[in-house]
């Protein structure tokens, strides 16, 4: 990868590669996961889910040695099968792993391997079969005889093994000239013992490994296409899948429409019949049914039913928009709750505030929430009119039905039903 970052932490559809593999294993039925770490183990360990066991392979003496290191750290009383995966195969699916596990368990095999028939097998080990189609071994590319070069079925390096047999077989793996121990050497052992099975991956792309950034980009395209297709089949309209980026944890309701160049990231939920985009980024946020977000950035926010956000708005962490709120162009909201039916249509900043229902925030209005030491809150009651270019210096409260004049600088609380104007703002008699 030519990177200071460990390979398995390079991201694919927003997740580290290793996260995709761990999720696939868990969804396939693995009741315990054990990660064998190598380069920069401490950094990789930080992203592992709670409860994931890990051990460092040092020195690193091949794939067989890696499994031996893992087995040495396990208690030795397991009776289940062991599923062996590589963390740089992020496209592997739970369905394929379940198929492998099922075939292994019901076939009574000591060892089962995953294979794939690919158009270009160069660089991969090949599966060798006898005249009846039975697996008799695997060979690495460099070991192939001239008549074996044309074989198209590759060994994917994914195995399922009987735990008791695996412990014994790993202990007697032969050491190669380079001082390493290789997992493919398990295959002839299992053949000799009369218990090997093979499952071919239905979609060869999912067994693609990632060793370069070129391969990472190719895998990312495949993953995004897979995610988008699943949403479309579930009733979501994605206008241009090629320019739509949806991370795996995102949920989207039926009849939502996702327009081009939209990024939906993290723990985001989009409701039924929403319209998101074009040019929108929604991160770790909830967008309720029927809301629209156009050309805006939404981070850690909750948008309620029927809201309209954008274009060119920015909702930051802690923002809550209640039903029917409208946030327009060049408006920013941070750590604030805005009541139902309120609006801030243009060029404003609302930070650390509680805004009531049916409030109008005029163009250029600002809650001055930071005094240089701490953040202070602004409270705006129901039915308040905040005039253009008003500055509300927090902490301050505007009572229900109050008004601020254009350009007012509000330094003190405003009583309900009153109007304040000027710099600093002073009460003006109520209109008759």
For residue 341, the domain's CATH number is 2.160.10.10
Can you tell me the distance from the alpha carbon of 318 to that of 353, in angstroms, rounded to the nearest whole number?
Answer: 10
pLDDT score, position 142: 82
Same domain, 102 and 234: no
Residue 146 lies in a domain: yes
Question: Residues 362-395, buried b or exposed e (16+ Cβ, 10 A)?
Answer: bbbbbbbbeeeeeebbbbbbbbbbbbbbbbbbbe
Overall average pLDDT of the 194-208 stretch: 90
Overall average pLDDT of the 297-313 stretch: 98
Of the listed ranges 61-70, 78-87, 222-231, 233-242, the one predicted with least confidence: 78-87
Which band of pLDDT confidence, cut at 50, 70 and 90, is reported for residue 90? very high
pLDDT score, position 80: 83
Which band of pLDDT confidence, cut at 50, 70 and 90, is reported for residue 51? confident
Same domain, 104 and 178: yes
Same domain, 222 and 120: no
Which band of pLDDT confidence, cut at 50, 70 and 90, is reported for residue 43? very high
Residue 301 lies in a domain: yes
Of the listed ranges 103-107, 357-361, 428-432, the one predicted with least confidence: 428-432
pLDDT tens digit sequence for 380-422? 999 999 999 999 999 999 999 999 999 999 999 999 999 999 9
Same domain, 232 and 200: no
Q: Are strands 396-398 and 378-380 parallel, antiparallel or unpaired?
A: parallel
Residue 43 lies in a domain: yes
Same domain, 263 and 125: no
Q: Are 348 and 365 in contact (CB under 8 A)?
A: yes
Same domain, 289 and 368: yes
Same domain, 99 and 145: yes
pLDDT over 70 (residue 162):
yes
Last residue of a domain, one of 170, 189, 207: 207
pLDDT tens digit sequence for 223-232? 999 999 999 9
CA dihedral 363, 366, 367, 373 (to 10 degrees): 170
Last residue of a domain, one of 207, 224, 251: 207
Same domain, 176 and 231: no
Can you tell me the distance from the alpha carbon of 328 to that of 94, in angstroms, rounded to the nearest whole number?
Answer: 43
pLDDT over 70 (residue 105):
yes
Domain count across the chain: 2
Token digits of residue 361 = 């925030």
Domain that holds residue 286: 213-428
SS3 label, residue 291 = coil
Overall average pLDDT of the 186-204 stretch: 91
pLDDT score, position 120: 86
Same domain, 335 and 402: yes
Q: 341 φ, ψ to 5°?
A: 75, 5
Residue 141 lies in a domain: yes
pLDDT over 80 (residue 302):
yes
pLDDT over 90 (residue 241):
yes
Any idea what DSSP says for residue 370? B
CA dihedral 95, 97, 98, 102 (to 10 degrees): 140
Q: What is the H or E stretch that residue 16 is in?
A: strand 15-16
Cis peptide before 416 (omega within 30 of 0): no
Distance between start and end Cα atoms, the chain: 74
Same domain, 273 and 255: yes
The single residue of 104, 109, 292, 346 carrying the catalytic annotation is 346
How many percent of the chain have pLDDT more than 70?
99
Overall average pLDDT of the 364-370 stretch: 96
Which band of pLDDT confidence, cut at 50, 70 and 90, is reported for residue 94? very high
What's CA 263's distance to the chain center, in Å? 11
pLDDT score, position 141: 83
pLDDT over 90 (residue 135):
no
Is 346 in the active site?
yes
Last residue of a domain, one of 140, 173, 207: 207
pLDDT top residue among 79 and 8:
8
pLDDT score, position 432: 56
The length of the chain is: 432
Q: Are 342 and 358 in contact (CB under 8 A)?
A: yes
Residue with tokens 């039925």: 29
pLDDT score, position 431: 57
Residue with tokens 């080990």: 125
Same domain, 313 and 403: yes
The domain that holds 48 is classified in CATH as 3.90.550.10
Can you tell me the distance from the alpha carbon of 349 to that of 369, in angstroms, rounded to the nearest whole number?
Answer: 10
Question: Residues 160-186, buried b or exposed e (16+ Cβ, 10 A)?
Answer: bbbeebbbebbeebeeeeeebbbbbbb
Q: What is the H or E stretch that residue 71 is in?
A: helix 63-73
Same domain, 65 and 92: yes
Sequence-ordered list of residues with C-beta below 8 angstroms from that of 148, at least 6 positions apart, any chain: 126, 128, 139
pLDDT over 80 (residue 429):
no
pLDDT score, position 201: 95
Bridge partners of 321, per DSSP, are 303, 338
């Amino acid at each position: 990868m030519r990177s200071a970052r460990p390979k398995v932490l390079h991201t694919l559809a927003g997740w580290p590669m290793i996260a995709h593999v761990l999720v696939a294993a868990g969804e396939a039925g693995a009741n315990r996961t054990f990660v064998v770490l190598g380069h920069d183990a401490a950094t990789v360990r930080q992203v592992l889910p709670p409860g994931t066991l890990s051990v460092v392979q040092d020195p690193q003496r091949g794939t067989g040695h890696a499994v031996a290191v893992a087995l040495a750290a396990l208690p030795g009383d397991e009776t289940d099968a062991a599923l062996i995966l590589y963390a740089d195969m992020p496209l592997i699916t739970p369905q394929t792993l379940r198929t492998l596990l099922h075939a292994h368990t019901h076939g009574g095999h000591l060892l089962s391997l995953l294979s794939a028939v690919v158009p270009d097998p160069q660089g991969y080990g090949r599966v060798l079969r006898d005249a009846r189609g039975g697996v008799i071994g695997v060979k690495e590319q460099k070991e192939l005889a001239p008549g074996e070069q044309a074989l198209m079925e590759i060994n994917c390096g994914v195995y399922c093994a009987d735990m008791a047999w695996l412990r014994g077989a790993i202990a007697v793996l032969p050491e190669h000239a380079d001082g390493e121990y290789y997992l493919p050497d398990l295959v002839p052992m299992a053949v000799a013992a009369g218990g090997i099975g093979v499952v071919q991956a239905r979609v060869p792309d999912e067994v693609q490994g990632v060793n370069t950034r070129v391969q990472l980009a190719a895998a990312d395209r495949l993953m995004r296409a897979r995610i988008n297709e699943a949403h479309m089949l579930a009733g979501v309209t994605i206008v241009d899948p090629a320019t739509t980026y949806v991370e795996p944890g995102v949920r989207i309701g039926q009849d939502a429409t996702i327009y081009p160049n939209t990024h939906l990231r993290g723990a985001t939920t989009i409701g039924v019949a929403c319209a998101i985009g074009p040019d929108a980024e929604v991160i770790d946020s909830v967008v309720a049914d029927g809301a629209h977000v156009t050309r805006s950035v939404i981070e850690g926010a909750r948008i309620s039913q029927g809201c309209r956000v954008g274009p060119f708005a920015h909702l930051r962490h802690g923002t809550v928009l209640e039903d029917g709120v409208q946030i327009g162009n060049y408006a920013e909201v941070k750590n604030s709750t805005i009541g139902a039916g309120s609006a801030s249509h243009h060029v404003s900043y609302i930070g650390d505030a509680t805004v009531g229902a049916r409030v109008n925030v005029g163009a250029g209005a600002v809650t001055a929430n930071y005094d240089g030491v701490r953040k202070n809150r602004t409270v705006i009651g129901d039915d308040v009119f905040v005039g253009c270019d008003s500055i509300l210096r927090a902490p301050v409260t505007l009572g229900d039905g109050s008004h601020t004049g254009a350009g007012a600088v509000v330094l003190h609380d405003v009583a309900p039903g009153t109007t304040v104007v000027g710099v600093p703002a002073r009460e003006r008699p109520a209109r008759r």
